[in-house]
């Protein structure tokens, strides 16, 4: 899936989690409902300014709109962990190991 669609789906997910309609969010972000709809469908390429407005309107940190971990496949998750393990320093590996052990208890 392309990144625009992932971003759009994530914005839609955050909007719905807050119980906002497209009209309500578009009003808070000072944009049109049609433009927001296109962003959520992944057919529009939002500007950085628009992403900032949306994160403020949704009261989330910007990075939260780019958090796609919940839609990753099993293979993507394994690849991500392997990549992290290869490049992490010892301190980061120890912390990650503690977190994984805590989750598995």
Question: Are both 18 and 61 inside the same structural domain?
Answer: yes
Question: Are both 52 and 100 inside the same structural domain?
Answer: no
| pLDDT surpasses 70 at 1 | no
Q: Collapse the DSSP code of 1 into the 3-class scheme (helix H, G, I; strand E, B; otherwise coil) and give the result.
A: coil
pLDDT greater at residue 67 or residue 55 = 55
Percentage with pLDDT > 90 across the chain = 70
| pLDDT surpasses 90 at 53 | yes
- Kindly indicate the confidence band of residue 28, based on its pLDDT and cuts at 50, 70 and 90: very high
Q: Average pLDDT, stretch 48-54?
A: 97
Closest alpha carbon to 57 in 94, 29, 96, 88? 29
- Give the domain CATH number at 7: 1.10.260.40
Tally of structural domains, the chain:
2
| pLDDT surpasses 80 at 44 | yes
SS (H, E, C) 35-68: HHHHHHHCCCCCCHHHHHHHHHHHCCCHHHHHCC
Q: Which domain holds residue 97?
A: 72-104
């Amino acid at each position: 899936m392309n990144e625009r669609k992932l971003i759009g789906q994530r914005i839609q997910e955050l909007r719905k989690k807050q119980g906002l309609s497209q009209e309500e969010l578009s009003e808070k972000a000072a944009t049109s409902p049609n433009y927001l709809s296109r962003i959520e469908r992944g057919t529009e390429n939002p500007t950085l300014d628009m992403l900032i407005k949306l994160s403020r309107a949704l009261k989330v940190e910007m990075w939260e709109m780019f958090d796609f971990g919940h839609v990753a496949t099993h293979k993507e998750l394994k690849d991500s962990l392997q990549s992290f393990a290869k490049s992490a320093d010892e301190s980061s590996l120890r912390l990650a190991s503690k977190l994984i052990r805590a989750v598995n208890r």
